[in-house]
A and B are shown apart, each in its own frame.
Chain A
Amino acid sequence: EIVLTQSPATLSLSPGERATLSCRASQSISDSFLAWYQQKPGQAPRLLIYDASSRATGIPDRFSGSGSGTDFTLTISRLEPEDFAVYYCQQYVSSPTFGQGTNVEIK
């Protein structure tokens, strides 16, 4: 099983600031089969990024993904009020697993 470790656990930022979230895998993820999701309280997750760097349909361009191998990053260039949420990474090169999440909260 591929274990995904997200850091930090909590990120305290103000609207307009840049957010950088990390996801590290216990083994290399080939074909960059890594996705990022946003989840707000009481809602289902929403797909933001797939294949490490491709934005899903309807996702604003302030969200970007990068990385390969074992180290991946989700960047939110300028935080909007609606971006404060929990973010999960997921690998799908083998039996799917998720990271434990990063909570982006208002400072």
Chain B
Amino acid sequence: EVELVQSGGGLVQSGGSLRLSCVASGFTFSRYAMNWVRQAPGKGLEWVSVISTTGDSTYTADSVKGRFTISRDNSKNALYLQMNSLRAEDTAVYYCAKRASSGYYPNNCYDYWGQGTLVSVSP
């Protein structure tokens, strides 16, 4: 059974940093590109970032470019999102999501999602 277990959210002041983690099980983690998607309170979904299977290629949404960094450790089946210079508008539930088979990297749909972790940035 595929499982994505997230950790690392919380409350932080504007300008602060947080690191999110996502540990995968139930599939061969190193074979799949992985993503972060976020959802502001009461709002829709926004893709944040994607990383290739080996980690040597990443793409990031313009809204967080230069502030957020995605990375992975295939030896630990782990995905990370380092978030720096956080702003109030970054307040959201952040989901890690596994690439589904359809589509071409870096643009995919997502067949499994983590449980989500709330990041709250105070002004």
For B32, the chain A residues whose CB sits under 8 A away are: none
Question: Which of A44, A45, A57, A98 touches B46 (beta carbons < 8 Å)?
Answer: A98
A39 → chain B closest CB, angstroms: 8
Question: Does any Cβ of B come within 8 Å of A93's Cβ?
Answer: yes
Which residues of B71-109 are within 8 A (CB) of A?
95, 100, 102-103, 106-109
Q: In the complex, A100 Cα to B46 Cα: how many Å?
A: 10
Q: Is the interface of B mostly helix, strand, loop or mixed?
A: strand
For B110, the chain A residues whose CB sits under 8 A away are: 35, 45, 47
| A50 engages B102 (CB within 8 Å) | yes
Which residues of A43-58 are within 8 A (CB) of B?
44-47, 50-51, 54, 56-57
Task: Identify the A interface with B (CB < 8 A).
Answer: 33, 35, 37, 44-47, 50-51, 54, 56-57, 88, 90, 92-101
What are 6 A-B contacts defined by CB distance under 8 Å? A35-B100, A35-B109, A44-B115, A50-B111, A90-B45, A92-B107
